[in-house]
Amino acid sequence: MAQAGNDSIKSLKRVVNAISRNAGTLVAVPAAAVLAYRLNELWKAGELEQLLRTYLDTRVNVSLVRKARQAYIRARRPVAMQAGQAAQAVADAITVAVVAAVGLLAVLLLRLLFPSERPTYLVDFSVHKGQEEWKFPKEWFLPHSARVGKGRFTEDDLDFQEKILMRSGLGDETYIPPWLYSNPPHYDMEHARKEFEVCCFSAVRDLLNKTGVSPKQIGFVITNCSLFNPTPSLSATIMHHFGMGASTLNYNLGGMGCSAGVVAIDLARQMLQIYPNSYALVVSHENLTSNWYPGSDRSMLVPNCIFRSNGAAILLSNRSSESW
């Protein structure tokens, strides 16, 4: 029942939005139709022709007073009739104007009550391109996992990781931070933040260069990362690094898993409904350093096998200039 009510409200909003977008046409077409109908009636009755003739006659200068007086006497009664007709035409025009004004006011009120959504445009996007020294071919994984997990991984753990890796679809062009397969590996806060900066700063920098958008033009920065949520936040780190304006708003999403990317895009869309002529920067990242798991819980071993260094930056806008 509640779902049916929500669907009805959504349908009503779509109708109202369609009406508000075409308000000018909806008001102008009926008004033009009424005016055309009235002019046609006047023409059929000969009143329009008479009104035009009267208008033209008033522009003629009569030099002889007698002719002017006689013309006045002859035309006095028709002129009175024509004046009545003109008054009626004026009254009709006023009626049309009042109806049009009331209709326009109603449309404006509906637009205020049910504002139409601003369109959201994807300006461009960029992804992190791994450094050559971070390249990690698939055949390296098991030897390194056995070495850095010595004393932590059992043979069953290594066999499980091998099966996951073989079914993952990963190739030899993936990348991992080198400190994860050093001896000993480093998965502390400092290295986790370094991974974020390397992966995401490069994606944002490339995106800004491609679009020509200045960092100070960015109205919102939204980051999403499931488990790595340090202080200062990732969004604040991006703002500080690129020197964005003091009025830029930032949001840091965490703990949402793989759905966080969609949530971040939707949050950007909602913010762009409120602030006109704005840009929103969305940055998605999953941190390998903070997620590396040296244990035997198989559900937590899966990310070790399938996650690689990553970072994506997306620029959204509601500016009409970005619609092309």
Task: Please check whether residues 241 and 106 belong to one and the same domain.
Answer: no
**DSSP per residue, 95-122:** HHHHHHHHHHHHHHHHHHHSPPPPP-EE
> Considering 113, 131, 155, which residue would you say is the last residue of a domain?
113
140 and 94: one domain?
no
The domain in which residue 279 lies consists of 121-322
Same domain membership, residue 141 and residue 95: no
Specify the pLDDT at position 77: 53
Here the CATH number for the domain that contains residue 186 is 3.40.47.10
The count of domains in the chain is 2
Same domain, residue pair 130 and 100: no
Q: Are 85 and 192 part of one and the same domain?
A: no
Same domain, 8 and 54: yes
Domain termination residue (choose one: 113, 134, 153): 113
Pair 99, 130 in one domain: no
Per-residue model confidence (pLDDT) at position 61: 45
- Please tell me whether residues 215 and 277 are part of one structural domain: yes
196-200: list long-range contacts, CB under 8 Å, 24+ apart: 196/225, 196/228, 196/234, 196/237, 196/285, 196/287, 196/311, 197/237, 197/241, 198/128, 198/131, 198/309, 199/128, 199/285, 199/309, 199/310, 199/311, 200/128, 200/234, 200/238, 200/283, 200/285, 200/311, 200/313
What is residue 148's predicted lDDT score, i.e. its pLDDT?
79
pLDDT recorded at residue 63 = 47
Same domain, 181 and 298: yes
- DSSP H helices, the chain, are 2-21, 23-44, 47-58, 65-113, 138-148, 155-167, 189-196, 202-211, 234-242, 260-274, 288-291, 298-306
Q: What pTM was estimated for this model as a whole? A: 0.66
Is 242 found in the same domain as 125? Answer: yes
Assess whether 132 and 41 both reside in one domain: no
Q: Are residues 17 and 46 in the same domain?
A: yes
How confident is the chain (324 residues) per 10-residue block, as mean pLDDT?
A: 56 61 62 69 67 61 52 56 64 74 75 72 95 90 84 88 90 91 87 96 97 96 94 96 95 89 95 94 96 87 91 95 81
Among candidate residues 82, 113, 144, the one where a domain is terminated: 113
d(CA 106, CA 117) in angstroms, rounded, equals 19
